[in-house]
Structure 1
Amino acid sequence: MTTLQQVALRAGCSLATASRALNRNGAVSDLMVRKVRRAAAELGYRPAVPAGGKLGRRPVIGVLIPSITNPVFASSLSSIQNRMLVAGHGVLIAQSDYDPAREADAVASLLNDQPTGLILTVCNPASSAALLPSLPPTVLLNNMPTSLFPAAVTADNHGAGRELTEMLIDLGHRRILFVSGNFAASDRAQHRYEGYRETMAGHGLSPIRAMEIPFVGVYDQLDLSAALTAFSPTAIIASNDLLALGVIGALRREGLSVPGDVSVAGFDGIAIGRLMDPPLTTIEMPDASMGAAAASLLLDMAENAAPARHLSVAHMLRRGGTVRAI
């Protein structure tokens, strides 16, 4: 069984300093706290129960996601928890429901537990920064880095939007509608739409203004009748796969087939899209590996004082049966 003395020896400090660093009950530098915590994690140290019956405080990190029910964020969260378990950290979870105001309250709640660091998926890092307090080491997940948040793990959402639109144009589609959750709630959706607009314009085609809807609670009630009448699209791009499923349901309620009448494609690559008949055409994002990368980057920053970095991961077009050539 690993002892506190072994942790102190690994960290290069006294037994008293190691105790203060792990329990946050005395004067000790942030650098030494990180060294001691890393040593404890590497050695698998677990504090013994003292006479008072209370365990020493286990280091934790905080994770903010937009929605726990979205498979994209659930996959990332699972990888974060697995990585932190190995490092001896607990994981606190909060969700924003794609609401910038609730986002700030959720982060404040995470900070009450004095986390070692934070992994945040925010609505928009440019606007969220003004609402957030001073933060411990922080890594953005799925958001592009900013001057205030230079550490991030992202996929190229703009490039993914371009690639999906290019594929549809190559298949003969010219009237392509983009259906999205509110851009104010997701800069990821906005980047995907910007990729669509740029590609349409590059081919001399007129991009259609995005149809924006709430991210929460309306996918199964989506009404496309007005958009279908106004634009007569031959293809619809949804800003994520869950919304793509809602689009397919709305088209079927209008008596239209997919892809016979209208082609549909999405983003994320969630498993349920592969189980559909026909399987969903989508841009697959490596959500699990992104979560693991964000966790490793945060640990490196918090425990080793490593510099903030921007890590970009590759996406992949997965052709299914919901898109056809015309």
Structure 2
Amino acid sequence: MTTLNDVAKKANVSKMTVSRVINHPEQVTEELRALVHAAMKELNYKPNVMAKALANNRTQIIKLLILEEMDYVEPYYMQLLVGIANELDKHAYGLQLVTKRNTQIGDSDGYIVCGMREADYEWLNTLEKPIVLFGENTHGYNFVDSDNQKSIERAVDYAISLDYERIIFVGVDVNEPFAISREKGYLSAMERHNKYVSMFRLENRSKYSAAFVRENWETFVPNTAFICASDRLALGIIREVKEQGGSIPEDFGVIGHDGVFLDRIAYPYLTTLKQSVDKMGAATAQLVLQKINASGSDQGNILFDTELKLGGTTRLKKNQIHT
């Protein structure tokens, strides 16, 4: 059986260095970590997880709390779970999915929290272990999220580059940081382009955005682009514009936000700002482990750029091909 000494000899480092790489990776350089991990892989050395946990007074468990309703149709949270779980596995950590009312069942080393709303923060403040949020917040918690403001700015810039004259923003009607940031992105870009602002807030369901188009159809003129704060809202816009006889993308353009699944079931395929949910999940796992190893101290926030994913709901530029 391969031992710690074998790994140390293979990597040409001390046994203490190997131990630090396994138990306190933040205390060694990236070069040393890579050297030791390569030796461990070559020798097929598996650290004793239970011994590591006992030595560090750890459980090797991270609890994941999802505080909003999950829609079984969308794979958004599945992608997130895969990103988190795969990253935790690299560090010999297990993932436990729990509900709000069961957070105190069993111990853990920290929490990842998703889908929080303003009303949840009083309760979150009672949790004693390190916490990282998946989603921006204004309460001082470290978080990982898309750069929501920059993302919508990019959508507006793109719509204007396609010569759409009127740019309408359809936002999510919640007083939460992600929604506010997306509105700020729209307002900032419209001001920069000296364009007339036209902004609406709706419940995040396609039936409400469809009703919005139906009830206001006579006010919408050709050469209009709808920038939507979610793909759900964009689907309703597409459906009702076609129902009313509007031409997409020639007369009416639609750009969504998220790019997880719904953009692929739209017809035509939806142009959207795609979030890298699996990579964001991995980053969230890394951040909570850093926070645990740093005794809960502040580790900063991580913002991801979104990717403009072209579909058939916006016009083509010259030399441009929809995917």
Check whether TM > 0.5. Answer: yes
The superposition leaves residues 189-213 of structure 1 with CA deviations (integer Å, 9 ceiling, x where unpaired) of: 3211221122112222221131312
Match of 1:134 among 126, 130, 144: 126
CA–CA separation in structure 2 for the residues paired with 1:297 and 1:141? 10
2:299 pairs with 1:308: yes
SS across alignment from 1:228:
helix
Q: Compared with structure 1, are the counterparts of its residues 111 and 177 closer, same or farther at alpha carbon in structure 2 (3 Å cutoff)?
A: farther
2:321 pairs with 1:317: no
Asked if the contact 1:59/1:88 (under 8 Å) is kept, the reply is no
Number of residues paired by the alignment? 266
Q: Compared with structure 1, are the counterparts of its residues 117 and 200 closer, same or farther at alpha carbon in structure 2 (3 Å cutoff)?
A: same
Unaligned stretches of 5+ residues in structure 1: 3-8, 13-41, 48-56, 95-105
CA–CA separation in structure 2 for the residues paired with 1:11 and 1:110? 32
SS across alignment from 2:198:
coil
Match of 2:206 among 196, 203, 219: 219
Aligned twin of 1:64 = 66
Aligned twin of 2:254 = 264
Paired-residue identity, %: 25
Give the counterpart letter for 2:303 in structure 1: S
Q: Compared with structure 1, are the counterparts of its residues 230 and 187 closer, same or farther at alpha carbon in structure 2 (3 Å cutoff)?
A: farther
The superposition leaves residues 73-106 of structure 1 with CA deviations (integer Å, 9 ceiling, x where unpaired) of: 3311221122233434333335xxxxxxxxxxx5
CA–CA separation in structure 2 for the residues paired with 1:81 and 1:325? 39
2:89 pairs with 1:85: yes
Of 129-138 and 290-299, deviating more is: 129-138
Aligned 1:183-202 pairs, distance under 5 A: 183-184=174-175, 186-202=176-192
CA–CA separation in structure 1 for the residues paired with 2:61 and 2:302? 25
Q: Compared with structure 1, are the counterparts of its residues 310 and 45 closer, same or farther at alpha carbon in structure 2 (3 Å cutoff)?
A: same
Asked if the contact 1:63/1:91 (under 8 Å) is kept, the reply is no
Q: Compared with structure 1, are the counterparts of its residues 209 and 46 closer, same or farther at alpha carbon in structure 2 (3 Å cutoff)?
A: same
SS across alignment from 2:302:
strand
CA–CA separation in structure 2 for the residues paired with 1:257 and 1:219? 19
CA–CA separation in structure 2 for the residues paired with 1:93 and 1:229? 48
- How far off is 1:232 after superposition? 3.7
- How far off is 1:167 after superposition? 1.2
CA–CA separation in structure 1 for the residues paired with 2:173 and 2:266? 26
SS across alignment from 2:66:
strand
Aligned twin of 1:173 = 164
Q: Compared with structure 1, are the counterparts of its residues 44 and 180 closer, same or farther at alpha carbon in structure 2 (3 Å cutoff)?
A: farther
SS across alignment from 1:165:
helix
Asked if the contact 1:62/1:115 (under 8 Å) is kept, the reply is no
CA–CA separation in structure 1 for the residues paired with 2:167 and 2:282? 35
CA–CA separation in structure 2 for the residues paired with 1:244 and 1:147? 30
CA–CA separation in structure 1 for the residues paired with 2:170 and 2:225? 11
Aligned twin of 2:34 = none
Asked if the contact 2:113/2:132 (under 8 Å) is kept, the reply is yes
CA–CA separation in structure 2 for the residues paired with 1:210 and 1:111? 41
Asked if the contact 1:161/1:192 (under 8 Å) is kept, the reply is yes
The superposition leaves residues 84-140 of structure 1 with CA deviations (integer Å, 9 ceiling, x where unpaired) of: 33434333335xxxxxxxxxxx53432444432111234456x64334332221112
Asked if the contact 2:273/2:309 (under 8 Å) is kept, the reply is yes
Calculate the aligned-residue CA RMSD, in Å. 3.3
Give the counterpart letter for 2:66 in structure 1: L
Give the counterpart letter for 1:269 in structure 2: G
Aligned 1:1-326 pairs, distance under 5 A: 43-45=47-49, 59-64=61-66, 66-69=68-71, 70-93=74-97, 106-124=99-117, 128-135=120-127, 136-144=129-137, 146=138, 148-149=140-141, 151-184=142-175, 186-213=176-203, 215=204, 218-220=205-207, 222-223=210-211, 224-232=213-221, 234-274=224-264, 276-305=266-295, 307-324=298-315
CA–CA separation in structure 1 for the residues paired with 2:217 and 2:202? 15
CA–CA separation in structure 2 for the residues paired with 1:220 and 1:147? 33
Aligned twin of 1:38 = none
- How far off is 1:276 after superposition? 4.6
